[in-house]
Amino acid sequence: MPIYIMASSDPNPSKRKVLEKSISPPPLKRKTQSNISKNAVAAFFTPTSQKPKDRTTWTERAPDSSDSSPTLLVGRYEPEKVEESARRKRRKIAAFDMDSTLITTVSGKKFTDDPNDWKWWAPDVPSRLRKLYEEDYQVVILSNQAGLTLHPDPKSKAPKAGSKARVDNFKQKSSAVLAQLDLPTAIYAATGHDEFRKPRTGMWSEVCRDYGLRDDEIDLASSIFVGDAGGRTAQLKDSGRGTAAAKDFSCSDRNFAHNVGIAYLTPEEFFLGEPPREFTRDFDLASFPYSDTESTGDHGGNEVLFEKLNKQDIVLFCGPPGAGKSTFYWRNLKPLGYERVNQDVLKSRAKCFKAAGDLLSQGSSVAIDNTNADADGRKEWVEFARKHNVPIRCVWFKVPKALCEHNDIVRALNKPMNPEARTALPRLAFNGYFSRFKEPEAKEGFQDIVEVDFKFRGTKEEYAIWGRYWR
CA distance 297 to 315: 21
Is 9 domain-assigned? no
Is 418 domain-assigned? yes
* pLDDT by 10-residue block (mean), the chain, 471 residues: 44 46 45 44 51 85 82 96 77 98 95 93 98 97 96 74 90 97 97 96 97 95 98 78 83 98 98 96 94 54 85 98 95 97 94 98 97 97 98 98 96 89 92 97 98 92 95 92
Is 10 domain-assigned? no
Q: 186 and 321 share a domain?
A: no
Length of the chain: 471
Residue 101's pLDDT is 98
Is 446 domain-assigned? yes
Q: 127 and 273 share a domain?
A: yes
Name every residue whose Cβ is closer than 8 Å to that of residue 453 and which is 6 or more positions away in sequence: 398, 399
Residue 17's pLDDT is 45
CB atoms within 10 A of CB 285: 17
Q: Are 94 and 111 in contact (CB under 8 A)?
A: no
Q: 412 and 273 share a domain?
A: no
Name every residue whose Cβ is closer than 8 Å to that of residue 70 and which is 6 or more positions away in sequence: 60, 61, 62, 150, 151
Q: 196 and 216 share a domain?
A: yes
Q: Are 95 and 140 in contact (CB under 8 A)?
A: yes
What 3 state SS string does the chain have?
CCCCCCCCCCCCHHHHHHHHHHHCCCHHHHCCCCCCCHHHHHHHHCCHHHCCCCCEEEEEECCCCCCCCCCEEEEEECCCCCCHHHHCCCCEEEEECCECCCEECCCCCCCCCCCCCCEECCCCHHHHHHHHHHCCEEEEEEEECCCCCCCCCCCCCCCCCCHHHHHHHHHHHHHHHHHHHCCCEEEEEECCCCCCCCCCCHHHHHHHHHCCCCHHHCCCCCCEEECCCCCECCECCECCECCCECCCCCCHHHHHHHHHCCEEECHHHHHHCCCCCCECCCCCHHHCCCCHHHHCCCCCCCCCCCCCCCCCCEEEEECCCCCCHHHHHHHHHHHHCEEEECHHHHCCHHHHHHHHHHHHHCCCEEEECCCCCCHHHHHHHHHHHHHCCCCEEEEEEECCHHHHHHHHHHHHHCHHHCCCCCCCCCHHHHHHHHHHCCCCCHHHCCCCEEEEECCCCCCHHHHHHHCCCCC
Name every residue whose Cβ is closer than 8 Å to that of residue 5 and which is 6 or more positions away in sequence: none
Number of domains in the chain: 2
Q: 214 and 339 share a domain?
A: no
Q: 296 and 148 share a domain?
A: no
- The range of the structural domain enclosing residue 328 comes to 292-466
Q: 185 and 223 share a domain?
A: yes
Q: 251 and 147 share a domain?
A: yes
**With b meaning 16 or more CB within 10 Å and e meaning fewer, what string describes 246-269?**
eebebbbbbbbbbbbebebbbbbe
CB atoms within 10 A of CB 139: 21
Q: Are 412 and 418 in contact (CB under 8 A)?
A: yes
Q: Are 187 and 143 in contact (CB under 8 A)?
A: yes
Residue 19's pLDDT is 41
Name every residue whose Cβ is closer than 8 Å to that of residue 62 and which is 6 or more positions away in sequence: 68, 69, 70, 71, 72
Q: 409 and 330 share a domain?
A: yes
CA distance 372 to 352: 13
Residue 34's pLDDT is 42
Look at residues 281, 310, 341 and tell me which one is the last residue of a structural domain: 281
CA distance 436 to 401: 13
Residue 45's pLDDT is 54
Residue 32's pLDDT is 40
Tell me the per-residue pLDDT of 298-356, one tens digit each, with 9 for 90 and over.
Answer: 444 567 899 999 999 999 999 999 999 999 999 999 999 999 999 999 999 999 999 99
Q: 182 and 139 share a domain?
A: yes
Q: What is the CATH classification number for the domain harbouring 207?
A: 3.40.50.1000
Q: What is the CATH classification number for the domain harbouring 338?
A: 3.40.50.300
Is 166 domain-assigned? yes
The pTM of this model reads: 0.83
- The CA radius of gyration of the chain, in Å to the nearest whole number, is 32
Question: Judging by beta carbons within 10 Å of its beta carbon (0-12, 13-18, 19+), is residue 333 exposed, middle or buried?
Answer: buried
Of 370, 385, 386, 391, the closest CA to residue 436 belongs to: 370
Name every residue whose Cβ is closer than 8 Å to that of residue 152 and which is 6 or more positions away in sequence: 158, 160, 163
Residue 81's pLDDT is 83
Q: Look over the chain and give the mean of its residue pLDDT values, rounded to a whole number.
A: 87
Q: 60 and 194 share a domain?
A: yes
Is 19 domain-assigned? no
- Measure CA 43 to chain center: 37
Q: 135 and 268 share a domain?
A: yes
Is 15 domain-assigned? no
Is 457 domain-assigned? yes
